[in-house]
């Protein structure tokens, strides 16, 4: 059985991935980049067609161009290859926005697959993204990391939170629609519930995937996917910080929080979030 899992960046996707991969029956490797893979294949298609068109023009002939669907088939083939990289009974692909924006296409194409989404409230998600980008910039001095944090040529955390909360609302709406349309093949959990009721939520996820889990196995999974364990076993422990969980109340003005909530739309309350 195959599955896709993910959610918006800084939503707890790494925690979910590590917990899934810790199960003896499940393989869910580190994050993939399906969006980049897809775009690269389409670029190869167009570059190839441009090249053979040029050659045909020189020779005074009509070219036989490759169609986009040929490279789309190559893309699906590569996804299947990723799934086949493990001998576990259940294999998954961890990704972010690509899975959200192309969920129905993936479910239709891979008939034996399921999707697990994780969402975190938009304000803490946005603030964690802000902190992450700033930290990476200080480490790498890559100014591109600051581009989406900049408004009117200045870094502006408040405006970034409002903007990202609107984007979160769009993604969350797509997730909820996908869940409603495919209730037996799509599961949604929240980061907040996962942190508060980790054992119960993970048991429900494993059951959704058909992975038998006894108390001893679950205990080991809880330990290996703890923040301390992930930090100690990483070559970049700075990545594993304690997640925010106060809806920005410690750093944002109430007016900004209210505007961010409004921007997130109906999905905010649909998920049971309250400020």
The pLDDT tens digits for 239-261 are 556 667 889 999 999 999 999 99
- State the chain's mean pLDDT as an integer: 89
Q: Is 105 exposed, middle or buried (0-12, 13-18, 19+ CB in 10 A)?
A: exposed
Name 120's Cβ contacts closer than 8 Å, sequence gap at least 6.
Answer: 7, 8, 10, 11, 12, 190, 191, 192, 243
Q: Average pLDDT, stretch 14-42?
A: 89
Most confidently predicted of 30-34, 41-45, 83-87, 156-160: 156-160
Q: What are the residues facing 150 on neighbouring strands?
A: 155
**150-151 and 186-190: which strand pairing?**
unpaired
Please report the sign of the dihedral spanned by the C-alpha atoms of residue 245, residue 93, residue 179, residue 218.
Answer: negative
Q: What is the pTM of this model?
A: 0.88
Whole-angstrom Cα distance, residue 157 to residue 83? 39
Question: What's the DSSP call for residue 197?
Answer: T
Q: What are the residues facing 92 on neighbouring strands?
A: 3, 28
Whole-angstrom Cα distance, residue 105 to residue 99? 9
Q: What is the largest CA-CA distance in the chain?
A: 72
Listed in sequence order, the DSSP H helices in the chain are: 13-21, 34-59, 68-83, 97-101, 103-109, 122-140, 157-181, 191-196, 198-209, 215-224, 227-232, 254-264, 266-270
Nearest Cα to 222, choosing from 37, 51, 19, 31?
19
Whole-angstrom Cα distance, residue 91 to residue 154? 44
Tell me the per-residue pLDDT of 75-114, one tens digit each, with 9 for 90 and over: 899 999 999 888 888 999 999 889 999 999 999 999 999 9
Structural domains of the chain ordered from first start: 2-29+86-120+169-240 (3.40.50.300)
Q: Which of 51-60, 99-108, 178-187, 239-248 has the lowest mean pLDDT?
A: 239-248
């Amino acid at each position: 059985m195959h599955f896709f899992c993910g959610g918006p960046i800084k939503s707890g996707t790494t925690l979910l991935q590590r917990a899934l991969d810790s199960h003896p029956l499940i393989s869910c490797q580190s994050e993939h980049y399906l969006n980049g893979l897809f775009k690269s294949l389409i670029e190869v298609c167009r570059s190839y067609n441009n090249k053979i068109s040029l050659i045909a023009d020189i020779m005074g002939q009509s070219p036989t161009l490759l169609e986009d669907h040929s490279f789309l088939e190559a893309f699906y083939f590569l996804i299947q290859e990723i799934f086949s990289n493990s001998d576990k009974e259940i294999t998954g692909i961890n990704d972010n926005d690509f899975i959200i924006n192309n969920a129905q296409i993936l479910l239709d194409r891979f008939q034996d697959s399921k999707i697990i989404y994780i969402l975190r409230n938009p304000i803490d998600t946005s603030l964690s993204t802000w902190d992450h980008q700033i930290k990476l910039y200080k480490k790498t001095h890559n100014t591109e990391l600051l581009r989406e944090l900049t408004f009117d040529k200045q870094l502006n955390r408040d405006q970034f939170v409002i903007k990202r909360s609107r984007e979160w609302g769009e993604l969350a709406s797509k997730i909820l629609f996908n869940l409603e349309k495919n209730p037996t093949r799509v599961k949604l959990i929240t980061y907040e519930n996962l942190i508060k009721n980790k054992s119960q939520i993970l048991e429900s996820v494993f059951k959704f995937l058909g992975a038998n889990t006894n108390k001893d196995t679950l205990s080991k999974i809880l330990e290996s996917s703890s923040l301390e364990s992930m930090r100690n076993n990483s070559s970049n422990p700075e990545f594993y910080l304690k997640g925010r969980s106060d809806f920005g109340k410690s750093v944002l003005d109430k007016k900004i929080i209210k505007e961010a909530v409004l921007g997130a739309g109906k999905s905010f309350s649909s998920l049971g979030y309250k400020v």
